Amino acid sequence: MEQEINRFTAYANCPSGEYWAILSNSEVKKYPKGYREVLTFLILNDDKQTPKLNNKEEPYYSTIICNKSKGSSPKSKVNKIKRSMLSKEEYDPINIHLGVPTIETFYNRKLKVKVCLKSNNKNFITHIKRPRDNQWECIEGEFEGKFITKTDPIEVFKSMKHTINRRELNYAEQSFYSLINYYSDKEGKFIFNINQTDLRFFSADLQRYEKILKFLETKDVIDLQNIIGGKLVK
């Protein structure tokens, strides 16, 4: 009889890079903005037989954070992750659209993962190399914040510009439009999920990006001023 164990939910401490990893746990935890499902991975050495340790002889862990889901939606992030972990023998082009195994099925499975810096300035797993074809798959879902629809940042600015100090309006418009252009893709569309783009951003860029998302949510002139400076408040 297999012995039951209490699986750890570890703190993500792994630096950016490509690693072998093993899925060790899935746990629903309460966050300030709601419940999230946290998938914990133990990082392995290249031999795939031993855990990778830091200079304190502590094992590296990394995580994937998903919205809490019952698993019934084919578009949910956790189901996208499970599909990416299927082996060649498990993968069926019809069955994957009917349902996927429970997350516990994938415990102790060894996979190649990419750990990257995300917009909250912390490192998380963003890609899994699919065992069935050895292709990298980005496992980031669509933007999971408070934006139900992708609001046009320029329209947001236009809707609140009457609250800006008139003397600063031209400056605010030029500065904000330039900033939005900086965070736009090749088609000129604002990137609502910065983790899904191939563009490279520095840490300061990611922090400023978070402030932009906050402004798009609040439409508050103070939040805009915190991004571009000036004396925007009347």
CA distance 175 to 228: 7
Q: What is the mean pLDDT of the chain?
A: 85
Res. 51: pLDDT tops 60: yes
- Domain borders along the chain are 17-138, 153-228
What's the CA gap between 225 and 104, in Å, rounded? 47
Quote the CA–CA distance of 165 and 125 in Å, as a whole number. 43
Segment 182-199, tens digit of pLDDT:
998 877 888 877 766 667
Is residue 149 very low, low, confident or very high in pLDDT (cuts 50, 70, 90)? Answer: very low
56 vs 165: CA distance, rounded Å: 54
pLDDT value of residue 87:
94
Highest-scoring range by mean pLDDT, 4-13, 98-107, 141-150: 98-107
CATH number for the domain whose boundaries are 17-138? 2.40.50
Q: What is the pLDDT of residues 14-47, one digit of tens each?
A: 988 999 999 999 988 887 767 888 999 999 999 9
Q: What is the pLDDT of residue 1?
A: 47
Task: Round to whole Å and give the CA distance between 203 and 207.
Answer: 6
Nearest by Cα to 201 from 137, 141, 136, 116: 116
- The answer to whether residue 120 scores a pLDDT higher than 90 is no
Separation in Å, CA 120 to CA 47, 84, 111, 152, 208: 31, 24, 25, 22, 10
